[in-house]
Structure formats: structure tokens, C-alpha cells
Amino acid sequence: RGFLVLCLNKLRLACDLIEFHLQDLMNLARPNTTIKIGVEIIPAALPDKVNFGVEEINYATAVDHAEKAVAFINDLRDLHALIEESHDPLTLVEKARPLLETLRKESLNDVTDEGKDGGTTSGASSPSLGRYIKPLTNVLLLKLLLTLSTTYHTVSLNHMKQITNGLGMAFEEVETGIVVATRAKLFSVTIDHQANCLRFGDEALESESMRDHLRILGRRLASVSNIIHPPDTNAKLERRVTLFNSVRQNLAKEHLAVLERKNEIEKRKEEVERLAQITLKKEIELKAKEEALRQQEEARRLMREKRLRDKQKEQMIQQELDLMKKSKILEDLGRSAENMNAAELAEIDTEALAKQHADKVTKKKEAAERKLKEIAKRLDYITRAIRIEELPLIQTRFEERNRADRERYEKETEERLETMRGQWGSDVEKKQGLEKHDVFAHTSVFEDLIMEGRVAVHEEACAVADTLAEQVAEKEKIERARRRKQDEIKRLEEEEQARIEEEK
């Protein structure tokens, strides 16, 4: 359908272009004059160009060409309106047949004129109009098939041949066009040679009335046969008695079979319900997973938006900082930023401004350093002069301080020696007093008494520790026995539970 619309649009454009060039031709032509014109018509509906060539014409020739071109335009417009507006598949080809014959005649006339001209116009003459008949017939066939597919479900091949007879195509070419359009998925059609028809669309299901048709026919034929040939009632009675006896004999078996089938049906129902529950559970899990994925995606989206907002906020803050920095630099440079708006501040190059500010700061720093060096140099001169003048006084003061320190050191050394001599004498007297009383010979008795007390305390502590260890060991033994008993009770309960589940 899209291809058909494209072809129609190109055909409409071709008509407009031809009419435009014909109008130019009528404006340029004058009586008793000779004009050299070159008209190139580009029918957008056709793949190639139609060039009428360059020739010498007079007014009568121009009028003749114009009349023929107007007739050709009218034919093209009629064909365009027929393809675009007509929706009757039974009359579509019949209405287009005279137009196609006109195009064929024009193509034959073009060929005849080219033959008359001979080699004089071989280099500039255009190709015959006959080459455009084939694409137009293909478009008409496609339009016909589309309208048939929307109107009919089946069309006989004989009727299809009658409808497409006016296209001037063999039926094999029609079948080829049907196959190509079907492969392109423009519509769905099947060629049924066995039923000698075309089937559009998908196969439909049989109706409710057709389902019981064969059964009703069989019953009516059986009733007619019974009327023509009456059945033997005795044989029928015997067969019925035999049938009832066999039914009585097989009643128990059939009852068992029915019960088995009932159980089988119940099992199948339970299996179907179980599968349905499993399917429902899987669907619930799948929905839960999809919901979790959706929430995760939503969380990621919110996170991305938050990052974007944070980034924009950082950019705004950075812009504000840049503006503040520029304002501060301008103030340092002695320029006022109050009379400048945000756009003017944004246009100022920060790097150039910073470089200018840095140059100014560098120059100011160099000037301060130079001034400081001069002050230091001057201070150095003054300090040197003062030190030269104070040098004799400093030497005299240094000698007096050394003499006073030497006298103080000698006096302190003499006093320390006297103190040490007195301390040594008192220590010698104390030693002699201790040697006279012989105290160290009686210390062993006191040491033995102290050791006996310590041994008694140690033995008592060992006894207490042993008692405590025995109590701890007894307590741990009781605890181990209690745990073993609990484990045994738990094992017995698990075995009993497993046995109950196996019995179920």
C-alpha cells in the first residue's frame, strides 16, 4: 500500500511538471517566429527521464505539440484519479483500458517518428513512452489485488482472468505479480489450483450448521433405508437380548473401569490444579521481580536526576564564585564592578584578568622587596658602625665576667669538699657502732619464722584451689550429661517425626 501511494504521488508530480513546461512553451511561441527550445519532462512516477529534445519549431508546430501534450496530461490525470479514487475492482481495469491503449498508441507514434527522423535525432531523442506501460500495469494490478482482498474472500481464476484481460498481460505474469506482492507482505492470498480459485486472508473455521450437516444427512438416509427395506424385528429382538446379556455380564467390569477413569480424571484435575498453582506462583514471582527491577530502575533514575541537579548546582555555585573572584580582582585592580551586570562579568576573561592581577601583585611585591633590601642594607651599615664603636666595652665586660665566674667556681668547690669530708667521718662512726653490736648474726632466726608463716599460707591457698577445681569439674560433668540427654531426646523426636511422615 505504501508503494502504491508513492507511485500515485510521483504520477501527480509528473502531471504538474508537464503542465508547467507546456505553459512556458505557449508563452515563448509567437506567430511567424522560430524559437530554439529545450524541454525536459521528468515524470516522477516513472524511473527515467522523457526528453523531447531540442529542435527548431514555429508557432503552428508549438501549438500542435501543446495540444498533444494537453491530451497526454488529461490521460495521465484520468489514470491518476482512477488509481487513487476508484475502489470497485470489477470496473477498475475496464476504466483504465482506454487510457492504457492511448499510451500504447502514443508509444507507437513515438517509435514511428523516431524511425522517420533516422539518425539526425538519435543523440537527443528521448526513449519511447512504451517503457512506462509496464510499470503502470503493475500498479493497476496491485490496486486491483488490494481492493479484491478487502472485498472478497475467494475469487475464481476464470473470473480473475476476465478481470485482468484488459491489462494486456498474460495470466502467468498476473500469478507472478501475486507471488511477489505476497512475499512483500502487502496482503495475504493463496492460489488454489485444485479448487481453481484465489483465497484472500486466513482460512476461516467451519460454521456451526456445517458441523452437523453430515450427521443429519446420515440419519435421514437411515430412515429412508428402513422404509424401503423394513428390518427383521425377531433378529433385532435377539440382537437386543444378546446385547443386554453382554451388558449385564460386563456391568461390573465397566463399573470398575468407570471408577478407574474417575480416579484418573481426578488425578489429572489435581495435576492440572497443581500446574496452575505452580504457574500462578511463577507469575507472581515474575511480577515481583519485574516490580523489583522497576523500583531499582526508578531508584537509578532518581539517583541520576539527583546527580544532575547536584551537578547543575555545583555549576551555578562555580559561576557565582567566578563572578565573585572577577569582582574581587577588578577591585584589586582599582576598577569598579558595581556598574557591570552578570553578562558583562561573564564575558571578561578570567585568565587574562588573573594574569593582569598577578602582574600587578608581582610588581608591587618586587617594589616592596627592593625597598626592604634598601632598608636592610642601611640597617646593616648602622649595625656595623655601632658594633665597631662598642667592641672595646664588650671586651672589657667579657673579661670581668670571666674573672667573677672563676672566683665563684673555686669558692663553691672548696665548700663542697668540706661537706664531703664531714659526711665521710659520720659514716665511719656509724659503721664502727654496728660492728660492735653484731646484729647481722641473729637475722637467720627471724628469716625462719617468716618462711614458716609463708609456707602455711601457701598450703592453705593450695587446698582452697583444689576444692574449687573439684567443684568446677563436677559441675562440668553434670552439664555434659544434661546435654547428652537433651541430644538423645531430640534424636528420638526426629526419628518419630520421620516415621510418621513415612506412614502418611
φ/ψ of residue 198, rounded to 5? -105, 135
> CA end-to-end span of the chain, whole Å?
69
Rounded Cα distance between 19 and 25, Å, is 10
Neighbours of 72 (CB within 10 A): 18
Cα-Cα-Cα-Cα dihedral sign, residues 127, 129, 133, 136:
positive
pLDDT at site 217: 80
φ/ψ of residue 137, rounded to 5? -65, -35
- Rounded to 10 deg, the angle between the 59-85 and 133-151 helix axes is 20
Sequence-ordered list of residues with C-beta below 8 angstroms from that of 161, at least 6 positions apart, any chain: 171, 174
User: What SS3 state is found at 329?
Assistant: helix
Query: What's 2-41 look like in SS3?
Result: HHHHHHHHHHHHHHHHHHHHHHHHHHHCCCCCCEEEEEEE
Sequence-ordered list of residues with C-beta below 8 angstroms from that of 39, at least 6 positions apart, any chain: 21, 24, 25, 51, 52
CB 95 within 8 A of CB 86: yes
pLDDT at site 33: 36
pLDDT at site 397: 86
Cα-Cα-Cα-Cα dihedral sign, residues 10, 15, 16, 20:
positive
Rounded Cα distance between 325 and 339, Å, is 16
Neighbours of 25 (CB within 10 A): 19
Alpha-carbon dihedral of residues 67, 69, 74, 80, nearest 10 degrees? 180
CB 26 within 8 A of CB 67: no
CA within 13 Å, CB half, 332: 17
Sequence-ordered list of residues with C-beta below 8 angstroms from that of 173, at least 6 positions apart, any chain: none
- Tell me the mean pLDDT per 10 residues along the chain, length 504: 51 51 44 34 36 41 58 69 74 79 72 52 44 79 84 86 83 86 82 85 53 74 84 81 87 89 93 93 93 93 93 88 77 68 69 76 86 87 84 86 88 88 85 69 78 90 91 90 90 87 78
pLDDT at site 57: 41
Query: What's 299-321 look like in SS3?
Result: HHHHHHHHHHHHHHHHHHHHHHH
Cα-Cα-Cα-Cα dihedral sign, residues 356, 357, 358, 363:
positive
CB 167 within 8 A of CB 160: no
pTM: 0.32
pLDDT at site 277: 93
**What is the DSSP code (8-state) at residue 127?**
P
Neighbours of 135 (CB within 10 A): 15
Q: How far is CA 256 from CA 3, 243, 246, 266, in A?
A: 69, 19, 16, 15
User: C-alpha grid cell for residue 205?
Assistant: 473455521
Nearest to 277, CA basis, from 136, 285, 401? 285
Nearest to 326, CA basis, from 347, 295, 306? 347
Neighbours of 4 (CB within 10 A): 16
